[in-house]
Structures are given as structure tokens and as C-alpha cells.
Copies of this chain bind each other. A is one copy, B any other.
Amino acid sequence: MSMHDQKTVAIVGGSGYAGGEFLRLALNHPHLNVTQVTSERNAGTPVSMVHPNLRGRTNLKFRKAADLDEADIIVLALPHGSAAKKIAEYEARGKIIVDLSADFRLKDPEVYRTTYGEDHPTPEKLGEWVYGNPELHREDLRGATRIACAGCFATSVILALYPLLKLGVLLPKDIIATGLVGSSAAGASASDASHHPERAGSLRVYKPVGHRHTAEAQQELPGHFPLHLTAISTPRVRGILTTAQAWIPDGYSDRDVWSAYREVYGAEPFIRIVKVAKGIHRYPDPMLLDGTNYCDIGFEMDQDTGRVVLMSAIDNLVKGTAGHAIQSLNIALDWPETTGLEFAGLHPA
């Protein structure tokens, strides 16, 4: 490939898991050329010291954010609140900005304030950003230069519910979504909660009510209905398994659920409907998705009560973060949508 087919990329905040995962995917992407990765704490260190899977794959060293040069694409992998406060600086250095944090996901500054407990620093810019969910916003993403990547739990909830709500297959009744989340979702910094002896055997309800991704999911999902989220940490490192408990109108059956998913997702390259009559892999399972950009979706219906259990599984760091971002960039830049995201996942794993 000639150099002019490539875009230069700078990753700001590249020592965390989101930035590291973007880097891993970008190094394998024929159109992306990562030229800079910043980390205040690790400036001067080879990135492979922090991301040891990249040994032999890159000679890049971390630099300080203050030394950020221009790049075609700037990827912000910073803690919540950091990207928005300095967004002008990043805009001055790159044409396309991809933010992996929550800073630009919400359209309504008032919802932002309620959700994050402070005023948005640049509310006037919120309208410039496209919510980085290719399944819902593919057309908006074409040519986009501001991409606010969807949250990981939100993505698993949205993708499970969207077709059914769009096509009216669910009652406007309380939906309960329970997310079983791996430890990498809490980030790369050690804490009491992440201490292996306290975490390895734990099933820990860490957000029974009040999860911030509720706002994202409500913004993106069609219709008016109450949505309730509960998040539980599991012994896995990666992955989210979400079950969403919802209700089918009288006269509807599981065939309508099938139809809705097929109609909306039939051409999606990264969504697979997983619902098998027998065997041990009958429904979505994050075990199969580590490192992949798939969202597997399944369901089961209780004909007696109209309850339907929707299930979705993703790798929180790929389809939930960095893979989503790459997929969105592929669309924005008119590259084949699966470029750099071909990994099939391992079995057994």
C-alpha cells in the first residue's frame, strides 16, 4: 500500500486499556499509521513496556501530551471529563477527533449535568459529534470528523433492544438490563476493588441502580419506556453479558423477535444472532468474543407471560470501545467496514 492511503494517528492517553486496545487494532490496520502515543506517567518508555502484547510489533515510545504533534486522526483515551476540557487543543492538531470517553456522547447538556454531576465545559460543541454506534448511525458517520464512541455497557444494552423498540415489538413497560462485566472495564489502575485476592472469586454488584450509561441508552433507543440498569462484576477480565428483561405485546411471538432482529441487523457485519436449539453454545457468551468486534445477540421467550429475555455479549474493550471506534472510522473514511477487525475469536478460550 502506498503511504498516501494511510492516515496518521495520535493516541492521547495511551497507557490505559482503551488506548492500548486501539493501538493494537490500529497497528494491524492497513490505513492507519500510529505515529504518536501519549502518557504522562510513562513518557519516554516504549509502549510495549505497558502493553507487552505489542513486543516486537512497534518501536513507539510514549511522549507527554504537551509534545503532541499534528496527526490526521486524534484518538482521545482519557479519563472522563478530560477530553472536553481541552478539546480546542486537540482540534488544533487534528482534523478527525475520536473520543473514547463519555464527554461528547450525550446531546443534551442538561442530561449531561444530571448524569455526571457537573456542567459540560463546552455544551455548544455537543451537536458536532456523532454517537459512534455504526449500527444506529452509519449514515451520520460517513465523513464524520467528530466521533464520540459509545459506552461499553450502553452498547450491549442498545444493540439488544434497538430493533425491537424500533419495530414496536416491545411493550412500553419497565425493561431491566443486567450487565455482567469483566474487570478490565474498571481500567488499568490497581485499586482495592481490583486486588486479585478480593476479585478473583467475587460476584460483586457494583452498580445496582444509577448507572450512568442509562442516559446514553435512553438517548439512543426509540420510544418512551422506563429502562433500569444493574451492573455486576464477574471473574472474567474482558466481556459483558447483558440480559434485558422485556415484554412482548399480546399476539406477538418469538417469530416477531426473530424478524425484527433480521430486518434491522440482517446486513450488519458485526452482529450475529445466536439462538441454537441444542448444544452448549445456545446463546451469546462473551467467552467467544475476546478480541473480536462482534456483538452476539440472542433471546428466549416465555410464551405464558410475554416475557422475553434478550441477551447480548461483547468484548467491552473492542465492540465496547476500540473496535467500535475503528469500525466508525472505517465508515467515516469510506474504507471497508471490517478493515482491521477480522479476528474471529478463540475457541476454546
| A binding-site residues for B, Cβ under 8 Å | 17, 20, 24, 27-28, 49, 51-57, 174, 176, 178, 180, 182-184, 188-205, 208-210, 226, 228, 230, 232, 234-239, 241, 243, 245, 272, 274, 276, 279-281, 283-288, 290-291, 294, 296, 298-302, 305, 307, 309, 311, 313, 342-349
Known A56-B272, A184-B348, A209-B301; further 18 A-B contacts with Cβ < 8 A: A20-B347, A28-B342, A49-B281, A51-B347, A52-B285, A53-B344, A55-B274, A184-B197, A188-B195, A200-B235, A203-B234, A205-B243, A205-B309, A208-B309, A209-B302, A209-B309, A230-B309, A290-B349
Chain B residues near A343: list those with CB within 8 A: 291, 343
Is the pair A209, B307 in contact by a Cβ cutoff of 8 Å? Answer: yes
* Alpha-carbon distance A52/B189, docked complex (angstroms): 24
Q: How far is the CB of A208 from chain B (nearest CB, A)?
A: 4
Neighbour of A53 across the interface among B182, B238, B345, CB < 8 A: B345
Is the pair A180, B203 in contact by a Cβ cutoff of 8 Å? yes
Between A and B, 19 residue pairs with Cβ closer than 8 Å are A49-B279, A49-B281, A52-B274, A52-B281, A52-B285, A52-B347, A53-B346, A176-B245, A180-B180, A180-B234, A190-B195, A197-B237, A201-B287, A205-B298, A205-B311, A208-B283, A210-B302, A228-B307, A230-B243
Across the interface, do B193 and A237 meet the contact criterion of CB distance under 8 Å?
A: no
Distance to closest chain B CB from A292 (angstroms): 8
A185: nearest residue on chain B (CB-CB)?
B197
A187 to B71, CA, bound (A): 45
Closest chain B CB from A178 CB (angstroms): 5
Supposing A53-B347, A209-B307, A305-B228 touch, asked if A196 and B200 sit within 8 A by C-beta, the answer is yes
Contact with A285, one of B49, B203, B210 (Cβ below 8 angstroms): B203
Closest residue of chain B to A270, judged by CB? B56
Q: Is the CB of A55 within 8 A of B272?
A: yes
A190–B192 Cα gap in the complex (Å)?
6
Is B197 a contact partner of A348 (Cβ separation < 8 A)?
Answer: yes
Q: How far is the CA of A347 from the CA of B228 in the complex (A)?
A: 32
CB-CB nearest 6 A-B residue pairs:
A197-B348, A209-B302, A208-B309, A53-B347, A208-B300, A52-B281
Residue from A27, A180, A199 with most neighbouring chain B CB atoms (10 Å): A199
